[in-house]
Structure 1
Amino acid sequence: MKMKHSVLSAALLGAALSLTPVVSQAGIPAPQVQDGQTMPSLAPMLQKVTPAVVSVNVSGVQVSKQRVPDMFRFFFGPNAPQEQVQKRPFRGLGSGVIIDAKKGYIITNHHVIDNADDITVGLIDGREVPAKLIGSDANADVALLQIKAKNLTQITVADSDMLRVGDYAVAIGNPFGLGQTVTSGIVSALGRSGLGIEQLENFIQTDAAINSGNSGGALVNLRGELIGINTAIVAPSGGNVGIGFAIPINMVRNLANQIIEHGEVRRGVLGVSGRDLSPELAKGFGLDTKHGGFVGEVTPDSAAAKAGMKAGDIIVSINGKNIRSFTELAARIASLGAGAKVKLGIIRDGEKKTLNVTLGEASQVAEKGAAELHPMLAGAALKDGKGGVEITDVAPNSPAAVSDLQKGDVIVGINRKKIRSLNALRKALKDKQGAVALKVRRGDAYLFLVLR
């Protein structure tokens, strides 16, 4: 027993001696070698990639306003304030990824920079540089920053549509403000949706450890190519449990390009509503496939209608890439710009077909169309806005004006349910009976307006 222990100890000692780092002339540790073979390591890849991952520090003042009840204003006289204003300073920390070194473009999450007055980017070499917000998309949780600095390193971008479950993945970010940290794992699942994290969900799931502060950081493959932007975790105990989510880089890249070109996201619209293709539906239609989006309704004069799509069609692919659910379909379409041309693979009456579709412009409801959502919205022009449905105009003396809706208001909720898009507003108001309470963001304040 002692002899075996001694032999084992000697073997371990020999291994330790053979693994002693050798420093190259450049001052960088040379690859470790054992028995004449180079030991596998992520270090060479990370030496190239980590300079492209930055920390994002934000600060600002959270302003909230509450209406002072009439009874209190009565007690304090006619000069009593109608609103009580509270200001609370805040600081936050996240991560970001340099995607264009020449122009200084950095991708991060919208929730990292939301409401920030000052944004500072920390580079791996210790420099701290002020950043400018170019634009963001709250529904997809993507934001684009820009800095002015020399000697930046940009990351190489992969094709996230080529990912497979089981591919290795490496997460890089700044968790808990500890400084740059690297964790590794695999791609656990693709096309995750229905999580209630964002309005548009088509997540890469990974077991690479992601924690607070990792948001906006890089998820890369073993070649050091960017495959996703780390966004959220499932953390019932408050810490990492091996279930993290990243936004696919193809989706991020489409949105970033729109922000760069237009200063905002001009979302493409297909014009269909539906549901995931369930096993029951697949069996009822006599289909072999169990993945796709079932089209329940096609909006008249929409991009889908013009392309010849019909209710009952089953969408199974976009531009030759299979889709897993209707939610994934919606997220992929929404990340494409208005006017984008796409090929949709569908199944109709058991036969496979391809439809060429030119996506319409982002959802916008004119004054006449608003009345179809609710009679008391008549006279309001609506469109998808930042974090909700923006009211772009209100006709004088219209029902919308009587309801106290104003130009610039953003509808963010209905009867305590969050609303982030016109499509969600349409669904929430469908077949609603009686009074409806709208939660509206007006400037920095929130108020409830009742539609009767």
Structure 2
Amino acid sequence: MKSFLKKVAIVGVISSSIIFTQSSALANMGLPFLSSSDTTPSLAPMLEETMPAVVSISVEGKTTARQEIPEMFRPFFGGQGRQPQERPFRSLGSGVIVDAKKGYIVTNAHVVDNADKILVTLTDGREFSASKIGTDNESDIALLEIEPENLTQIELADSDKLRVGDFVIAIGNPFGLSQTVTSGIVSALGRTGVNVGGYENFIQTDAAINRGNSGGALINLKGELVGINAAIFAPGANAGNVGIGFAIPSNMMNNLINQMIEFGEVRRGLLGVVGNDVDAGLAEAFNSDVNKGAFVAEVSEDSAAEKAGIKAGDIITKVNGRTISSFAELRAKIASMGAGASVNLGLIRQGDVLDVDVVLGDAGFQEVTAAEIHPAFAGATFENGTDLAGNRGITVSEIEARSPAVSIGLKKNDVIIGVNRQRVNNIKELTDMLKDKEDDVIALNVKRGNASLYIVIR
């Protein structure tokens, strides 16, 4: 990452500075501790049920680097100064089983980025090969799938109910040390500007976070998932833990993976407003008592906001009854809800409190023809689909005779499942992979019935 987040991140939690001394007080708080004449207060009973839902992830893949070619040798390489080179890599991360019956595992997108092989290891030592269902780099969430054989899933908490000061537990695989547990508190909510992705609404925790914890679980004291560990604030050359970690809220994660399950991709909701945070200065200028929320500076024409009657000068303070503190928080919540979702917004207009129902637009919708993805696909019609084995990919639903798509070797009902040795799950991923690569040599991995073949585009 280009910012102060130099290392693959994780949300752990603080040290042993929190000492529980009065078991009677803990009992009154309803915490899951054992306490008897011969048993000290402990989180062990809760963790014994929760930890099997947290897995270790190991990844093997290749990244492409470009090597500088000395000028005297460039004629032998077509005059190009830099040539791409593939370099193998291995990395470690964590994941959380969210659906035991279907074998769904959530992790960070950066954990499985450029992965050719994903291996999941459970607490009982069993190993499974995992496949990607969907990834979203903008929010750093990925959904994986393994064989659903006697798995344990974690229950989801309502992350909107978190408060600063709530106790949290992090479970993960730092430095390959599987099932490492740390504890701490929620330090802040609605954190943005972390530069992990384009949509940020992080839980901050005073976490002991290290490489390998990315994608692990942040849970409450009931053993429910409140967040997916994602990043740390690591200033300086060593980029070690300084007790500031970040997790993606479980509600945001859940909205995103539901879209991945249904569509194979994230289809972001769009409100259609431009604005900024409400602060004391802005509140004074508009003679408002509200000093938190999202100020609407501009409403886009024919947008979901305009259709719902939202106006410039409105201050949005709530999303589905939950208070928001900034424009960035509004943006992240709306984007995670998905296109077509119905949302209730609470807003202030010239001192009046209003409720507005909005049906969100589609932030990423655009008609993309196969030819727009790459000229060699002209004459083909693409749809998101699966091959005979159930692997996600791009199905050639129609193809015109004597078209460029035919000339490169594509046929009707072919399923494109890879590009240059990287898995591709849907049209959006294919579009992103082939952007600005019209002049590159491209190898398509295509499934034709039960056969697997490569089609080269030059």
The answer, yes or no, to whether TM exceeds 0.5 is yes
The Cα offsets for residues 245-295 of structure 1, whole Å up to 9 and x where unpaired, read as 000000000000000011111111001111111210011112222110011
Are residue 181 (structure 1) and residue 176 (structure 2) matched? no
Q: Is 1:230–2:229 an aligned residue pair?
A: yes
Instruction: Look up the SS of the partner of 1:442 in the other structure.
Output: coil
Structure 2: distance between partners of 1:91 and 1:365: 36
CA-CA distance at 1:441 after TM superposition: 5.3
Q: Secondary structure at the match of 2:110?
A: helix
Q: CA deviation at 1:39?
A: 2.3
- Determine the C-alpha separation between the residues in 1 that align with 2:436 and 2:96: 31
Instruction: Note the 1:398-413 alignment, pairs <5 A.
Output: none
Q: Which residue of 2 aligns with 1:146?
A: 145
Does 1:221 pair with 2:216? no
Aligned partner of 1:87: which letter? E
| Residue 451 of structure 2: aligned partner | none
Counterparts of 1:70-219 in structure 2, within 5 Å, are: 73-74=74-75, 76=76, 84-219=83-218
Note if contact 1:171-1:209 (Cα within 8 Å) is conserved in structure 2: no
- Please tell me whether the aligned partners of residues 285 and 350 of structure 1 are also in contact (alpha carbons under 8 angstroms): no
- Provide the residue aligned with 2:243 in structure 1: 242
User: How many Å separate the matches in 2 of 1:270 and 1:141?
Assistant: 21
Q: What amino acid is aligned across from residue 223 of structure 2 in structure 1? A: G
Partner of 2:41: 40
Partner of 1:323: 324
The DSSP-based 3-state class of the residue aligned with 2:215 is coil
SS of 2:309's partner is: coil
Matches within 5 A, 1:47-58: 47-58=48-59
Work out whether 1:276 is the aligned partner of 2:251: no
Normalising by the residue count of structure 1, what TM-score does the alignment of the two structures yield? Answer: 0.71
Computed over aligned residues only, the root mean square deviation of the Cα atoms, in angstroms, reads 2.5
Are the counterparts in 2 of residues 292 and 315 from structure 1 also a CA contact under 8 Å?
Answer: yes
Counterpart residue type for residue 57 of structure 1? S
Report the secondary structure of 1:198's partner residue.
Answer: coil
**Residue in structure 2 matched with residue 354 of structure 1 by the alignment:** 355
1:146 to 1:344, Cα distance in 2 relative to 1, 3 A: same
Secondary structure of the 2:361 match is coil
Q: 1:444 to 1:251 in 2, by over 3 A?
A: farther
Distance 1:119 1:273 in 2: 40
1:179-221: CA deviations, max 9, x gaps? 2200000001000012222211000001132211110000000
1:225-260 CA distances to partner (integer Å, 9 max, x unpaired)? 000000001122422111110000000000000000
Structure 2 CA distance, aligned partners of 1:286 and 1:106?
Answer: 48
Shift of 1:85: 2.5
Q: Is the 8 A contact 1:64 1:444 kept in 2?
A: no
Partner of 1:442: 437
| Paired residue secondary structure (1:156) | coil
Q: Deviations over 1:384-408 (max 9, x none)?
A: xxxxxxxxxxxxxxxxxxxxxxxxx
Q: CA deviation at 1:124?
A: 0.4
Query: What residue ranges of structure 2 are gaps of 5+ in the alignment?
Result: 1-32, 369-434, 441-458
Report the AA paired with residue 346 of structure 1. Answer: L
Distance 1:356 1:84 in 2: 53
Partner-residue secondary structure (3-state), 1:280: helix
Distance in 2 separating the partners of 1:354 and 1:71: 69
Question: What is the distance in 1 between the residues matched to 2:222 and 2:305?
Answer: 39
- AA aligned to 1:90 is F
Q: For residue 312 of structure 2, what is the amino acid of its counterpart?
A: A
CA contact (8 A) 1:194 1:327 kept: no
SS in 1 for 2:132: strand
The CA distance in 1 between the partners of 2:90 and 2:74, in whole Å, is 34
Please tell me whether the aligned partners of residues 61 and 89 of structure 2 are also in contact (alpha carbons under 8 angstroms): yes
Per-residue deviation, 1:363: 3.3
Structure ID, larger Rg: 1
The one-letter code matched in structure 2 to 1:442 is K
8 Å CA contact 2:210–2:240 kept in 1: the answer is yes
CA distance in 2, matches of 1:359, 1:161: 20
Q: Which moved more, 1:196-205 or 1:318-327?
A: 196-205
Amino acid at match of 1:232: A
Q: Which moved more, 1:84-93 or 1:37-46?
A: 37-46
Letter in structure 2 aligned against 1:145: L
What number of residue pairs does the alignment pair up?
342
What is the match of residue 11 of structure 1? none
What aligned pairs does 1:17-36 form with structure 2 within 5 A after superposition? 33=36, 36=37
Q: Partners in 2 of 1:308 and 1:72 — Cα distance?
A: 64
- In the alignment, the residues of structure 1 paired with residue 251 and residue 333 of structure 2 have an alpha-carbon distance, to the nearest angstrom, of 9
